[in-house]
Structure 1
């Protein structure tokens, strides 16, 4: 049985959740409710799918405090690095269709220009696991160059790597999306957003977008970060190695061309940034991840064999440019896998988190998928509370 939760009231701003859940998932809804502040500034959405069916779909709080706009089920939320997981699934689909030979195929076989300066042997799987040696550009880029869809790719292709590709890792915060965009567009022969729509989001009726049209912009939420510095986004600690700090900050801003505050400018989302610029609903993300482990809305996105290739560990630990203390993240081929940073549900879970505390992943052992989106930056404990409650509901 299903239970309705809360009510929508025109002209008011509610912090309590609205939506529905199946019986037995009340503890999950309660955990989600605990993540919504009562200050009238932020909110979020949660969607849980089990066995290819949605069992929780709730939202609450404020989507844009500047105009008093509430969260609804249709609010679009920037999900930052959750984008990397979705973009990686497109690459996986192309591998399954034979348009990309395998994850061990060199990037340069699909994107020949990238082979310059000793990068020719880097495999696709290692590139997607942040082992590509091009986590940041050596030259400064303007925002126009970052967003034009061409300049950054050309710069990375020609660049001497920051370390020998494949031998170490460092988070390719923004440049990861260059790999996925180039691989998808060159292998499929169509624009990234069209392949996404035609082969993933369209069939699943998933509200997930890379590049927003003008008519979608009013659905966009406004994120809040009370402690954000206006000029940069960095989690570096004071005693971190100066070289590591430099390259970490360049990875986060591409030499100053873009910073995390820019993602509150709706016009940025008109452009394709495949590693960090995705927006969508929690239900849209969750149904995508559900389709990777079980038939969902009549679709199975990738096979069990491909799931195992994706989630096989490739990168873990502090990496080439550590700037903070543990815990550290771990990655397979473009997806985050369980670590001390994020344990998800079981050791077989895989997906990707986002800088706003967002979580999107699937668990093949239990046929579960979760999408949690919020517009309050950081605060990883919020998602962990939800996952702890979900484990209780599922008796895991």
Structure 2
């Protein structure tokens, strides 16, 4: 064992601890946390390693971390709640709620298409700067005005960051609250330590690091863009000049406190693992007196909308999405075929499973690339324990 792991596992879940401990092998400065709820009760809450390699600060029970695209799953829960309340309609045009969005031929783009990466706005045509992603009105106004990169609805490309502003502006238009404020109001009864827009007073946030293989992959993508070849999937991650190629530097990108405090709901959520697992648990079973979304709405929200090869060429396997929710696929195995949630850059995994009434979250500050099996191994171990398939 290469890290000191603390926390609890309920009787019968001891094999999960062993798999979690093995995740630290070969990564001496890694920190991570894992939480699992079953039937609304915590059965695993583990944490360990290093929260900040610069000063050796240990990862403790209250350490939060940027969860990257796991935030998209949280936003999709918010939208589903508003659909259940009759305040949003998946089949309605986005412009019904956000009239400015109809510009440049986008008047027919539906809420479903915007949520399922089919809106043609996966990346900006003109560079965003850091100031643009720190300014909600600036980011959403630019997307509303942009001409789509392909005919909306006729294919998909992953809206790595823009997804959050599309979903978030829908939330803002119908609630009158910023997505971060509505999120905090929604999860308040759970007592969950999770934010879209970190409070200025909240410390104990893990410092992110990028493993060499992931840094090399993203630098290769960056070199293509510099050479004059438009790499739209890479541009979707950086938005031009707003973020570094690897998403983080020692004090930049998502390690920048200004970025953490901004509401960037495509990738900027910050949470503890226990908070994320509790939120996903409350999506499928009563948890601490809370049920976030009805089974009827979830059935619609988790039906497959997007799958197969994207508009911009990519190697299989390909992911699947419903109404913003990432679904079980060969590209991202969750617990069962009914599971839904979202993973995040560098190894984060968070989801709910309605069949086994599970909320699951694995988060880490040690960002790895293709071939990373840490989250997958933990899900596989849980599947074996539960006899899931």
- Class of the TM-score when normalised by the shorter of the 2 chains: over 0.9
Alpha-carbon deviations, 1:211-239, whole Å to 9, x = none?
Answer: 112221x3110111132788994775999
Aligned to 1:251: 236
Once the two structures are superposed, what CA deviation does each residue of 1:246-272 show, in whole Å capped at 9, x if it has no partner? Answer: 211221111122230111222211111
Q: Does structure 1 conserve the Cα–Cα contact (< 8 Å) formed by 2:123 and 2:235?
A: yes
Cα distance change on mapping 1:388 and 1:156 into 2, 3 Å: same
Between the aligned partners of 1:232 and 1:135, the Cα distance in structure 2 is 20
Q: Residues 53-202 of structure 1 correspond to what in structure 2 (within 5 A)?
A: 53-100=41-88, 102-200=89-187, 202=188
Name the counterpart of 1:390: 382
- Contact conserved, 2:134 with 2:258, CA < 8 A, in 1? no
TM-score (norm 1): 0.91
Q: Which residue number in structure 2 is paired with residue 206 of structure 1?
A: 192
Q: Per-residue displacement from partner, 1:294-314 (whole Å, max 9, x unpaired)?
A: 000001000101111121111
- CA RMSD, Structure 1 to Structure 2 (Å): 2.3
In structure 1, the residue corresponding to 2:286 is in which secondary structure? coil
Give 3-state SS (helix, strand or coil) of 2:139's partner: helix
Structure 1 segments unaligned to the other structure (5+ residues) = 1-5, 7-13
Measure, in 1, the Cα distance between the counterparts of 2:107 and 2:290.
36
Q: TM-score, normalised by structure 2?
A: 0.92
Instruction: Answer whether contact 1:234 1:252 (CA < 8 A) is retained.
Output: no
Is the contact made by 1:244 and 1:321 (CA closer than 8 Å) also made in structure 2?
A: no
CA contact (8 A) 2:197 2:269 kept: yes
Q: Which residue is equivalent to 1:10?
A: none
What is the match of residue 339 of structure 1? 329
User: Which structure 2 residues correspond to residues 306-345 of structure 1 after superposition, within 5 A?
Assistant: 306-322=297-313, 324-345=314-335
SS state of the match for residue 361, structure 1? strand
Q: Secondary structure at the match of 2:182?
A: helix
CA contact (8 A) 2:222 2:234 kept: no
The number of residues matched between the two structures is 379
- Summarize the Cα distance change of 1:231–1:252 in structure 2 as closer, same or farther, 3 Å threshold: farther
| 2: CA distance, partners of 1:232 / 1:24 | 39
| Counterpart Cα distance in 2 of 1:389 and 1:231 | 30
Partner of 1:352: 342
Correspondence for 2:281 among 268, 274, 290: 290
Q: What is the distance in 1 between the residues matched to 2:312 and 2:229?
A: 4
Cα distance change of structure 1 residues 105 and 352 upon mapping to structure 2, 3 Å threshold: same
For residues 110 and 126 of structure 1, the distance between their equivalents in structure 2, rounded to whole angstroms, comes to: 14
Determine the C-alpha separation between the residues in 1 that align with 2:219 and 2:83: 34
Match of 1:35 in 2: 23
CA distance in 2, matches of 1:384, 1:346: 13
**Which runs of no fewer than 5 residues in structure 2 stay unpaired?**
none
Matched with 1:24 is 12
Partner SS for 2:367: coil
Q: Deviations over 1:305-360 (max 9, x none)?
A: 111112111111221112x4211211111010011111211111000000020100
- Is the CA contact 1:16–1:36 (under 8 Å) kept in the aligned structure 2? no
CA distance in 2, matches of 1:286, 1:220: 18
